């Protein structure tokens, strides 16, 4: 899972669409709140939220949900 690389690869529209799809895959409100800190128009805003979101990789079943979301 590398959210930073995925966001960096997409244009602002793609980033907005990806973030909008997150609740279809991930129900954790804390994850979604951190995700919404990302300004899709400002690549400089990605680093901090992405590093904070990495903490969710160790939550049971979360990694597979994140991977599925990033592949959507």
Tell me the per-residue pLDDT of 14-51, one tens digit each, with 9 for 90 and over.
999 999 999 999 999 999 999 998 999 998 888 888 88
Candidates 48, 49, 72, 70; CA nearest to 2 is 70
Q: Is-contact 69 28, C-beta < 8 A?
A: no
Label residue 1 by pLDDT band (50, 70, 90).
Answer: low
Tokens 């899972």 belong to 1
What's the CA gap between 41 and 71, in Å, rounded?
21
Q: What is the pLDDT of residue 70?
A: 92
């Amino acid at each position: 899972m590398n959210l930073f690389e995925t966001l960096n690869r997409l244009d602002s529209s793609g980033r907005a669409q990806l973030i909008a799809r997150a609740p279809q895959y991930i129900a954790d409100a804390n994850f979604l709140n951190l995700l919404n800190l990302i300004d899709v128009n400002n690549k400089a805003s990605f680093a901090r939220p992405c590093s904070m979101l990495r903490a969710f990789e160790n939550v049971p079943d979360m990694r597979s949900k994140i991977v599925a979301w990033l592949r959507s």
